[in-house]
Amino acid sequence: MEDHAPLTMKDIAREFGISVATVSRALKDSPRISAERRAAIQQYAREHNFTPNVIAESLRHSKVQPMKVIGVIIPNFVHYYFASVLSGIEEEASARGYRLMVATSQESYEREVRICQSFYENKVCGIIVSQAKDTQKYDHFQRLMDAGVPLVFYDRICTGVNASRVVVDDYMGAFNAVTHLIETGCTRIAFYGSAMTLEISKNRYNGYKDALLKHGLQPDPELMRFCDNRTDAEAITPEILQSPTPPNGFFAVNDDTAIGILYTAKRMGFRVPDDISICGFTNGYRAIACDPMLTTVEQRGKLVGEEAANILIGHVERTIPLDKAERRIVRTRLVIRGTTR
């Protein structure tokens, strides 16, 4: 893919004033083309990031229709939420005759770029993606859209491109959770969240902050940590609980982090929820596998996946225009269990 549109063999042929068949032979290293001409064409193709369309090439003389394959990019498989989103995508896609090609970015921008390129080369009909944590540039997404590949973002959306998206109501989920903590007696509530480069982090932080302000409490920077996994939560929670004015409530960006807080607090002799209340965000299986069971915001990942697949297939089948960016919000709900009073 080039900056705006992918380079084709027709473009190379036009550049050299030769036929597409000659370009094809040169790229396949055919001895029918002079070595000098072959080298020039191959170098030009390399310099302009030309990638052959693997599937289209094999179908060029076939009456078989291209496979209806959707590319799906997941940041990681560790979180129950992403697995449940994938389940929703697969169910909706399968019911409508589509198959999935799934890859995980492992939270890496470089890997995400390579996956997008691979999906493009394999001619997926569209891509559903939640961006990696360290993705700060979005050229790879824009190039796909410029090439006519439909994109739908879920959970972690890319605000730099005008693409369709499905998100949960992160702001209201956090607002309602922190309101519940305040209404059940918490006056100092810590916030454990992801980096503010992600929209979901900003939205959940804003929900947390606004709930405090609405109830006359001031956000305290001393109670805020960048922490979104259990390992880090277990490492940093002792320090915050040993401070002169420790929190009596915690709101965590996901269940894993909340469970790290829970076990650390219990190890240190705090009673949950008598001394400390804890609320997470996901409502995965782990939320009911801890003691006490976790109060958390349910994200309804399966529904997010179904909505994302529904929109993407709409773009592919042109029932939703490619240039119409759909925005759908899935409502959250607070599930109250044993870690809050």
Strand partners, 225: 192
Q: What does the block give as tokens for 34?
A: 């002079």
**Cα 207 to the center of its chain, rounded Å:** 20
Q: What does the block give as tokens for 75?
A: 């940041």
pLDDT at 25: 86
Q: What does the block give as tokens for 147?
A: 């090439």
Q: What does the block give as tokens for 230?
A: 């259990």
Strand partners, 73: 103, 129
What strands, in cross-sheet order, belong to the sheet with 277-282? 224-226, 189-193, 249-252, 277-282, 295-298, 333-335
Rounded mean pLDDT of 60-83? 76
pLDDT at 32: 86
Q: What does the pLDDT look like over 208-244, one tens digit per residue?
A: 999 999 999 999 999 999 999 999 999 999 999 999 9
Q: What does the pLDDT look like over 187-206, one tens digit per residue?
A: 999 999 998 888 889 999 99
Alpha carbons 208 and 171: distance in angstroms, whole number:
8
β-strands 295-298, 277-282 pairing: parallel
Alpha carbons 130 and 153: distance in angstroms, whole number:
6
DSSP reduced 3-state for 97:
coil
Q: 130 and 82 in contact (C-beta within 8 Å)?
A: yes
The answer to pTM > 0.85 is no
Q: 134 and 107 in contact (C-beta within 8 Å)?
A: yes
Strand partners, 151: 127
Binned at pLDDT 50, 70 and 90, residue 62 comes out as very low
Q: In 75-198, which ranges are continuous DSSP H helix?
A: 80-95, 109-121, 139-146, 170-183
pLDDT greater than 60 at residue 64: no
User: How many alpha carbons lie under 13 Å from residue 173 in its C-beta half-sphere?
Assistant: 31
Alpha carbons 151 and 311: distance in angstroms, whole number:
9
pLDDT at 10: 84
- Residue 18 burial (CB count, 10 A): 16
* Cα-only R_g, the chain: 25
Query: What is the amino acid identity at position 108?
Result: S
Alpha carbons 320 and 150: distance in angstroms, whole number:
10
Which residue's structure tokens are 């693997």?
54
Q: What does the pLDDT look like over 238-288, one tens digit per residue?
A: 999 999 999 999 999 999 999 999 999 999 999 999 999 999 999 999 999
pLDDT greater than 70 at residue 5: no
Alpha carbons 104 and 108: distance in angstroms, whole number:
9
Q: Which of 172, 177, 171 is nearest to 190 (CA)?
A: 177
